[in-house]
């Protein structure tokens, strides 16, 4: 496989506007939006990609807000870099920490990085 092959496959996929049926729960949608918000801030992202990621994220955002209207402001904060919380101030509850450790094989040290 060469670069031309990859470019052709990318062109085919990017020109296919067929709707995809997707089943996703609220928690997964929240995490997906968070990832899209983060990716949309990458310094090397193209304006087209940034716009596409935000459009996708906002579709899931709308679905979440319909079920959890009280989360509307919080989820909107994620699109605004001025609302970011410095990493050293992010709180992970003990239950969430344990779940992350169990699901992803993280250790306590993974959560302590930079806390010294």
Each residue's pLDDT, cut to its tens digit, for the chain (116 residues) gives: 799 999 999 999 999 999 999 999 999 999 999 999 999 989 999 999 999 999 999 999 999 999 999 999 999 999 998 887 766 666 677 888 888 888 888 887 877 655 44
Q: Torsions phi, psi of 38, nearest 5?
A: -65, -50
Q: Which residues contact 88 (CB under 8 A, 6 or more apart)?
A: 114, 115
pLDDT of residue 89: 60
pLDDT of residue 113: 55
Q: Which residues contact 41 (CB under 8 A, 6 or more apart)?
A: 81
Place of tokens 């906002």: 58
Q: Quick one: which of 23, 59, 54 has its CA closest to 38?
A: 54
Q: Quick one: which of 65, 96, 92 has its CA closest to 78?
A: 65
pLDDT of residue 88: 66
pTM passes above 0.95 = no
pLDDT of residue 97: 81
């Amino acid at each position: 496989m060469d670069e031309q092959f990859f470019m052709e496959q990318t062109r085919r996929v990017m020109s296919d506007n067929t709707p995809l049926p997707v089943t996703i729960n609220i928690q997964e949608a929240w995490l997906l939006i968070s990832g899209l918000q983060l990716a949309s801030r990458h310094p090397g992202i193209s304006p087209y990609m940034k716009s596409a990621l935000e459009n996708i994220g906002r579709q899931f955002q709308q679905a979440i807000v319909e079920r959890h209207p009280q989360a509307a402001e919080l989820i909107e904060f994620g699109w605004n870099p001025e609302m970011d919380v410095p990493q050293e101030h992010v709180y992970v509850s003990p239950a969430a920490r344990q779940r992350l450790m169990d699901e992803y094989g993280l250790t306590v040290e993974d959560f302590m990085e930079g806390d010294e």
